[in-house]
Amino acid sequence: MNLSSLHPAKDSRKTRKRVGRGPGSGYGKTAGRGSKGQKSGSGFSRKRGFEGGQMPLHRRLPKRGFTNIFKKEYSEVNLEKLVKIKKQEIKLKDLKNAGIIKKESEIIKILGRGDISSSKTIHAHKFSRSAMKKIEKAGGKAILIGSE
């Protein structure tokens, strides 16, 4: 057995349909597109969701609600993740370096899940009440970034 004797399994490969090659091929003249009509010409393309002139589903359904474009999206960080950082003062740069957040430009909110034992100064845009209590109980400080 060698590479030149290998062949695909029977009926596993389909031969390509060669259209527009004369009447003997069975796909000559109109190339399997039928005669006349919108889809018979070259360059035909139909809009996504087109239903033959019927009102499309996405236009028949009622629209509800709205999206507030001024909404602030916070990236939440729990106290249990901050324990990994061995620094006394934790800033956004330290969170990024530790892999807790992706970008320094994110708006961060510290949440109170987990415990913090050592006193740390934590800089963030927002703190939950429970996180603030736990940080101050451990002897640390919670500093709001917007009000520095």
Q: Domain range spanning residue 112?
A: 74-144
Residue 14 within a domain = no
How much is the average pLDDT of 129-148?
88
Residue 43 within a domain = no
How much is the average pLDDT of 119-134?
93
Residue 118 pLDDT class (50, 70, 90 cuts): confident
What is d(CA 123, CA 82) in angstroms, rounded to the nearest whole number? Answer: 11
Residue 51 within a domain = no
How much is the average pLDDT of 30-36?
92
The domain spanning residue 110 has which CATH number? 3.100.10.10
Looking at residue 146, its pLDDT comes to 78
Which helix H or strand E contains 141, and what residues bound it?
A: strand 141-144
Average pLDDT, the chain: 91
Residue 86 within a domain = yes
Residue 41 within a domain = no
Asked if 112 and 131 touch (Cβ cutoff 8 Å), the reply is yes
How many domains does the chain divide into? 1
Residue 101 within a domain = yes
What is d(CA 68, CA 143) in angstroms, rounded to the nearest whole number? Answer: 28
Looking at residue 148, its pLDDT comes to 53
Asked if 29 and 19 touch (Cβ cutoff 8 Å), the reply is no
Residue 97 within a domain = yes
3 state DSSP class of 101: coil
